[in-house]
Amino acid sequence: MSAEFQSIEETRSGLAEAGYLADESIALVSFLAGRLGKPVLVEGPAGVGKTELAKALARATGRELVRLQCYEGLDEAKALYEWNYRKQLLRIQVEASDAGWQEVKDDIFGEEFLLPRPLLTAISAPEPVVLLIDEIDKTDQEFEAMLLEVLSDFQVSIPELGVVEAKTHPIVLLTSNDSRELTEALKRRCLYLWLGYPTVERELEIVRLHTPELSETVAHKLVEVMHMVRELDLKKPPSIAESIDWARALLLLGAEDVDEQTLKQTMSVIVKHRTDLDLVAERVGVKLNQAAVLAGPRSSEPRNAAG
Ligand SMILES: Nc1ncnc2c1ncn2[C@@H]1O[C@H](COP(=O)(O)OP(=O)(O)O)[C@@H](O)[C@H]1O
Ligand SMILES: [Mg+2]
> pLDDT tens-digit profile of 205-251?
999 999 999 999 999 999 999 999 999 999 999 999 999 999 999 99
C-alpha span between 22 and 28 (Å, rounded): 9
Q: Which ligand is nearest to the CA of 204?
A: 1
HEC string for 250-303: HHHHCCCCCCHHHHHHHHHHCCCCHHHHHHHHHHHHHHHHHHHHHHCCCCCCCC
Q: What is the pTM of this model?
A: 0.91
Q: Containing H/E element for 45?
A: none
Q: Could you tell me if 132 and 67 are in contact, meaning their C-beta atoms sit under 8 angstroms apart?
A: yes
Closest by alpha carbon to 174, among 142, 152, 151, 197?
A: 151
CA 240 to ligand 1: nearest atom: 12
Which residues surround ligand 1 with Cβ inside 6 Å? Answer: 20-21, 46-52, 175, 206, 209, 240-241, 244
For atom 24 of ligand 1, which residue has the closest CA? 241
> pLDDT by residue (tens digit) across 89-118?
888 888 767 777 778 878 889 889 999 999
Specify the amino acid at residue 272. Answer: K
Q: Could you tell me if 194 and 41 are in contact, meaning their C-beta atoms sit under 8 angstroms apart?
A: no
Among the ranges given (50-54, 101-105, 175-179, 189-193), the one the predictor scored with the smallest mean pLDDT: 101-105
Residues with CB under 5 A from ligand 2 (ion): 51
For atom 4 of ligand 1, which residue has the closest CA? 20
Q: How confident is the model at residue 302 (pLDDT cuts 50, 70, 90)?
A: very low
Residue 305 DSSP symbol:
T
C-alpha span between 300 and 258 (Å, rounded): 9
Residue 129: pLDDT over 60: yes
